[in-house]
Amino acid sequence: MTSLPLPPIGGWVAPGFERVRDAFIANFDRADGDSECGAALAVYRHGSCLVDLWGGYTDTARTRPWARDTLVNVWSATKGIVAVAAAMLVDQGRLRYEDRVADHWPEFAANGKEAITIAQVLSHQAGLNGFKEPTTFADLENWSLITSRLAAQAPLWPPGSVASYHALTVGYLIGEVIRRVTGRSAGDFIADSIAGPLGADVFVGLRPGEDWRVAEIIAPPPPAEEPLNDYAIHAKRNPSADALAPNRRAWRAAEVPAANGQASAQGLARIYAALANGGSLDGTTLLSPAGLDALRAQRHPGPDQQVGPRQWAAGMTFDVAPNYGPHADTFGHSGWGGAYGCANVARGVSIGYAMNRMGGAVTPTSRGPAIAAAVFACVDG
């Protein structure tokens, strides 16, 4: 494989974090071929930014340089932000993890779903990881269509019996509860209560005026055919994923809270920095210490029937791979292709990583984990 010239790299690292910069730069020319086109990385510790890097290009043709405020579709890393939104409502006493979904969304009780709890949804145990009706990827842009289908549908397995990743549906299930409780869509609640106060560039439902800074998504290699068990097949086949959907304005404008967050690495890192810093950052409090503990309390020990070893908290996953460094108490959420945000409360560390050339799995086996390993090597000394 012929190496491309290394692109310009912008930003800085604090003294002692040079190893992180080296790992970030190395990802643009990997011997295994899993190299970046464009990417950004931010790391905070105890509320202070220690790493702020970006480089490469926002387009396949490599003509538009990546900037500090470049946005990109971070796929399921969006789920972690929605989990924070739900945790805030729990912390405010407006919602309980033990509440039944139907307590807030009465129509959801149809077809044997009356006992499903918020905690079961957030830990992927609700039995609604896909659709019974034929559903296209474009259908996901229609909130009322998708939420009405989920409200009417019977569970695909007995709720609470197993966990199997609700790859697309979890965002609608929790997002509709957020809408019923607050009177605002999940995207609006995130904008008003999380991203706006923190100055974090994270959007679920992107305004047209922000399109100019969105990076083009580059699809991953075609996946190898893999056998799917009776649980996972519902999430993988109806609908089949469209990796290039983020390059459409309609997808960016819609609210798909499990999959279409547009974020910068700084945006992800700032939200997780608040969590790593006890729930607050720069005078903005997202969660109390008790609310933070409730967010990261284990809800299912794993395994997950689709994504394998996972310990699910309330919409977050603990670091069991390890995708986020060597410490099992680090938690966060990754997105298809490789983006992620994570936090380690004991060490006060958060990481936000975003890129546009997707790897071939939910969490690729090279770029993101290499960065997390370098971060914690610097932190741990």
Residue 3 has pLDDT above 70, yes or no: no
Residue 365 has pLDDT above 80, yes or no: no
Q: Please tell me what DSSP assigns to residue 85.
A: H
Backbone torsions φ then ψ of 336, nearest 5 degrees: -50, 125
Tens digits of per-residue pLDDT, 258-276? 999 999 999 999 999 999 9
Percent with pLDDT over 90 in the chain: 87
Residue 223 has pLDDT above 80, yes or no: no
Residue 210 has pLDDT above 50, yes or no: yes
What is this structure's pTM?
0.96
Backbone torsions φ then ψ of 118, nearest 5 degrees: -60, -45
Percent with pLDDT over 70 in the chain: 97
Please report the pLDDT score of residue 366 as a whole number. 87
Per-residue burial over 111-140, b = 16 or more CB atoms within 10 Å of its CB, e = otherwise: eebeebbbbbbbbbbbbbbbbeeebebeeb
> Rounded to an integer, what distance in angstroms lies between the CA atom of residue 375 and that of residue 369?
10
Q: Which two tokens stand for residue 259?
A: 């999959």
Residue 161 annotated to the active site: no
Report residue 33's pLDDT band, with 50, 70 and 90 as the boundaries.
Answer: confident
Q: Please tell me what DSSP assigns to residue 300.
A: B
Query: What structural domains and CATH numbers belong to the chain?
Result: 1-381 (3.40.710.10)
Please report the pLDDT score of residue 1 as a whole number. 43
More confident residue, 320 or 3: 320
Helices (H), ranges, 9-135:
18-26, 77-91, 101-104, 118-122
Residue 225 has pLDDT above 80, yes or no: no
Among the options 35, 76, 280, 334, which is catalytic?
76
